[in-house]
Amino acid sequence: MSTAAASIIAVVLVSVATLAVGAFGLRVSRTMSDFYVASRGVGPILNASAISGEYLSAASFLGAAGLILARGVDMLWLPVGWTAGYLVLLVFVAAPLRRSGAYTLPDFAQLRLESIHVRRVSSLLVVAIGLLYLIPQFQGAGLTLRTLTGAPLWVGQLAVAVVVCLNVLPGGMRSVTFIQAFHYWLKLVALLTPLFFFAGMWASSRMPSGSGAVDVADWVEPLQGDHALYLTYSLVLATFFGTMGLPHVVVRFYTNRDGRAARRTTLVVLVLLAAFYVLPVLYGVLGRMFAFDLVAEGRADTVVLELPSRVFEGAVGQGLTALVAAGAFAAFLSTSTGLVVSVAGVLSQDVLRRGTGPGLRGGIRAFRLATVLAVALAVALTFVSAGVPVARAVELAFAVAASTFCPMLLLGIWWRGLTARGVIAGLVVGGGLSMTAVVATTFGADWEGWFGVIIRQPAAVTVPMAFATMVLVSVLTRATVPKHVNLTMVRLHAPENLDLDRGTFHPDPSRAGSRSGEGATARRDNVTVRRG
């Protein structure tokens, strides 16, 4: 059996297993709220596995190792930042966001700022960031199948698109939770197993001697390139503060039982991510020894896929390659599934809802329509966008998230003075500038000097500007502070065991927008009331 055949079988197996686990979850998914967010009945370990599984995308699985192989120690900030982002999310956002009861970022925006306009702008941004993040996933899938089988790029891209649709269309979030928990462990095993074989070889000193490309100062020592200090700090800022603003990350928090569970889940996520992110570093280093030629060929992104067959021959090499291919596909599937669910959720609630009839059936029909639409858009954008390295494209999505939703969440949760106009101004300034930089980079624009450097890595400029705009405009429009801000603060910060009035906002999409009128039932519905 050839490596190509083994890899194809592995990829098909992952897809079938994913659909099977999804179908198992489907049997327990009945109501509309199951459909969206798994009714919050998910325990911390399962939920943390699912969050990590969803988060570890093509960029983590392929891209980080590729960039470390090509550029060395400065790229270690990617795995560090992707983990630290969850720490920042834990301390500032996790519990209050869960307590808000919002399904999505637009829900949160509307709840906190009591403005339908803020909701609309947020929806637009969720779709933009979601699509931006989907592109590298589909790219990675195309790259993987091409590397392993020689198939054209579009084959892998379409394959992932179809499996994602098959996954999301029938089951919604409940099945997604099971799938993603499964994907975390699959990804970990897929990267870990070849390393055991490497270690075994090393121990019996049958390891072939690698190239000397490891002992190069440019690669080993930090901050060797031009403007390296600015670029590093900008990357740190984007990843530390961007995580909380990614749409597929936020949706997952609703599946926690309460604010306290949200915190504990996030702590487990930190452990799972830290454990995983050791692996891409090791692949980067091993790649430097055994697959250094990939850098010159511009194929560094494929190092994880090619490394096993370079070191091991015969059946072992084929088997390990197939396993890594399976893990890579799990990475594309889980992240794109999560992204599609959140983009489709927003599209169906805020764009398509009116056209598809009332009630549960109308809601689900809108959600399915939105799913197909989101996937089609992402595939189309993947076809037209230039070949930006996988992890680079993801960095840019982080920069946009850090320049938009991060200030909205931080100020919204911790400052009563935030106004709807302030948020809109901040989102427009932060989102507009960072998106401009992203579009310029994606289409290969290259300017000289500082301007070009900032365009390459905009976060260090756009994040402070977004914060400043939100605060300044909010202060200028302080007469328009939301009417229920005090009630909202009780809702965001008071522990659930206290029996308090938390307002009546109901995140059920079929009733989104109503802030009153449901009375006592909605008020108690929303929170787990455990009187002690």
Partner 1 sequence: MSERRGDRDGPPRRVRVTSPRAGATRTRATSVASEIDAQTRLGEVYITSLMRSQLRLAVGVLLALGLTLGLLPLLFHLVPAIGQTDVVGIPLPWLLLTVVASTEIIALGWLYVRQAERNEENFSDLLEGR
CA atoms within 13 A on the CB side of 94: 24
Backbone angles phi, psi at 385, to 5 degrees: -75, 150
Of 14-22, 272-280, 303-311, 335-343, the window that binds partner 1 (rule: CB under 8 A) is 272-280
Q: Which residue in the set 40, 117, 227, 263 belongs to the binding site for partner 1 (CB under 8 A)? A: 263
Q: How far apart are CA 219 and CA 173, in angstroms?
A: 42
Nearer to partner 1 among residue 248 and residue 264 (C-beta): 264
CA angle 358, 364, 368 (to 5 degrees): 130
87 is an interface residue for partner 1 by CB under 8 A: yes
Q: How far apart are CA 19 and CA 183, in angstroms?
A: 12
91 is an interface residue for partner 1 by CB under 8 A: yes
- What are the CA-CA distances from residue 181 to residues 70, 176, 234, 330, 335 (Å)? 31, 9, 31, 11, 12
Q: Which residue in the set 182, 184, 253, 277 belongs to the binding site for partner 1 (CB under 8 A)? A: 277
Measured in whole angstroms, the distance separating CA 218 from the mean position of its chain's CA atoms is: 31
Nearer to partner 1 among residue 103 and residue 108 (C-beta): 108
Shortest CB 253 distance to partner 1, Å: 15
16 is an interface residue for partner 1 by CB under 8 A: no
Which amino acid type is present at position 151? A
Cβ atoms of residues 122 and 409 within 8 Å: no
77 is an interface residue for partner 1 by CB under 8 A: yes
Cβ atoms of residues 238 and 24 within 8 Å: no
Among 398, 399, 425, CA closest to 411: 425
Nearer to partner 1 among residue 217 and residue 479 (C-beta): 217
Shortest CB 295 distance to partner 1, Å: 18
Footprint (CB under 8 A) of partner 1, residues 171-230: 217, 220-223, 228-229
376: how many CB neighbours lie within 10 A of its CB? 12
471 is an interface residue for partner 1 by CB under 8 A: no
Q: How far apart are CA 311 and CA 288, in angstroms?
A: 13
One character per residue 238-257, x = contact with partner 1 (rule: CB under 8 A): --x-----------------
Shortest CB 479 distance to partner 1, Å: 19
Nearer to partner 1 among residue 7 and residue 83 (C-beta): 83
Q: How far apart are CA 369 and CA 333, in angstroms?
A: 19
189: how many CB neighbours lie within 10 A of its CB? 13
DSSP H helices, 291-358, are 293-296, 303-311, 314-347
Q: How far apart are CA 530 and CA 532, in angstroms?
A: 6
Is 226 buried (19+), middle (13-18) or exposed (0-12) by CB count in 10 A?
exposed
Residues 6+ apart with CB under 8 A from 162: none
Q: Which residue in the set 166, 185, 414, 439 belongs to the binding site for partner 1 (CB under 8 A)? A: 414
95 is an interface residue for partner 1 by CB under 8 A: yes
**H-helix or E-strand containing 117?**
helix 116-149
Of 4-12, 263-271, 342-350, 363-371, the window that binds partner 1 (rule: CB under 8 A) is 263-271
Dihedral in degrees, nearest 10, Cα atoms 73, 74, 78, 79: 20
Q: Which residue in the set 37, 76, 378, 402 belongs to the binding site for partner 1 (CB under 8 A)? A: 76
400 is an interface residue for partner 1 by CB under 8 A: no
475 is an interface residue for partner 1 by CB under 8 A: no
Nearer to partner 1 among residue 199 and residue 228 (C-beta): 228
Q: Which residue in the set 49, 110, 122, 232 belongs to the binding site for partner 1 (CB under 8 A)? A: 232
Footprint (CB under 8 A) of partner 1, residues 484-513: 486-487, 489-490, 493-495, 497-501
Is the Cα torsion angle 196, 142, 339, 370 positive or negative in sign?
negative
Nearer to partner 1 among residue 78 and residue 322 (C-beta): 78
Q: Which residue in the set 16, 20, 274, 360 belongs to the binding site for partner 1 (CB under 8 A)? A: 274
402 is an interface residue for partner 1 by CB under 8 A: no
Cβ atoms of residues 388 and 170 within 8 Å: no
Token readout for 134 is: 């989907």
Of 88-96, 129-137, 315-323, 360-368, the window that binds partner 1 (rule: CB under 8 A) is 88-96
Of 81-89, 334-342, 359-367, 424-432, the window that binds partner 1 (rule: CB under 8 A) is 81-89
| Count, residues near partner 1 per rule CB under 8 A | 49
436 is an interface residue for partner 1 by CB under 8 A: no
Q: How far apart are CA 273 and CA 277, in angstroms?
A: 6
140: how many CB neighbours lie within 10 A of its CB? 31
Shortest CB 211 distance to partner 1, Å: 18
What residues line the site for partner 1 (CB under 8 A)? 73, 76-77, 79-80, 83-84, 87-88, 90-92, 95, 217, 220-223, 228-229, 232-233, 236, 240, 260, 263-264, 266-267, 270-271, 274, 277-278, 281, 414, 486-487, 489-490, 493-495, 497-501, 532
